[in-house]
Amino acid sequence: MNQTIRTFIAVPVPDSVSGSIASFASPLKRLDADVKWVRPESLHLTLKFLGDVETVRIPAVGDAMAEAVSESRAFTLQLGGSGFFPNASRPAVIWIGVTKGAGDLTHLAEAVDAAAVRCGFGAESRPFAAHLTIGRVRSPRGIDRLVTALSGSRYESAPFSARTILIMKSDLQRTGAVHTPYRTIQLKD
């Protein structure tokens, strides 16, 4: 029986930015809305979610991703703004946007998606929306307070360099997902 790994491709966020996001989210958490907040060490910019992948396929997926981004250059990212998917009337995901480098991130996501399709995974059905998920709404409890607070909040990170993409393993646990890098792929300087 083949073992599988829940897998996704992402751009990491430096600890300094994760820490500033945690500080931004801290007063929002105190509103007691029914939200599963993403732990700072798990924050990342997802390029492609692959789902459960057989472990024997992971090396080939990594090679395909490395080839797909082999000409991609490192670039500067900056995060800012916040909102909800699908919208503030029916919030399911709480996000922080990308204010600098969104075009570069989109090109990277498109290259990763094309490589995933060549590896037998489905193509993305929706256009890539550059964002970082900070929480997932579990029920309507306290959401009105959260929507009001978030609409009056402002977040902006320091600029940072996107120099790598990661092939990540995601283990779902009772306390939340634990993400472990399987392979790091360097972008060109």
Contact yes or no for 39/127 (Cβ under 8 A): no
Query: Residue 107: its pLDDT value, please?
Result: 96
Residue 45 DSSP code = E
Q: Is 10 helix (H, G, I), strand (E, B) or coil?
A: strand
**5 neighbors 52 (Cβ within 8 angstroms):** yes
The mean pLDDT value for 1-28 works out to 94
pLDDT of residue 179: 85
pLDDT tens per residue across span 39-58: 999 999 999 999 999 999 99
Q: What are the φ/ψ torsions at residue 149 (nearest 5 degrees)?
A: -65, -40
Q: Quote the CA–CA distance of 108 and 131 in Å, as a whole number.
A: 14
Over residues 130-137, mean pLDDT: 96
Cis peptide before 159 (omega within 30 of 0): no
What are the backbone dihedrals phi and psi of residue 14, each rounded to the nearest 5 degrees, phi first?
A: -65, 155
Q: pLDDT at position 1, please?
A: 58
pLDDT of residue 62: 95
pLDDT in tens, 147-179: 999 988 899 999 999 999 999 998 877 777 788
Q: Name the fold adopted by 4-186.
A: Cyclic Phosphodiesterase; Chain: A, (3.90.1140)
Q: Is the pTM of this model over 0.85?
A: yes
With residue 84 as reference, give the H or E element that holds it. Answer: strand 75-85
- What average pLDDT does range 86-96 have in this prediction? 94
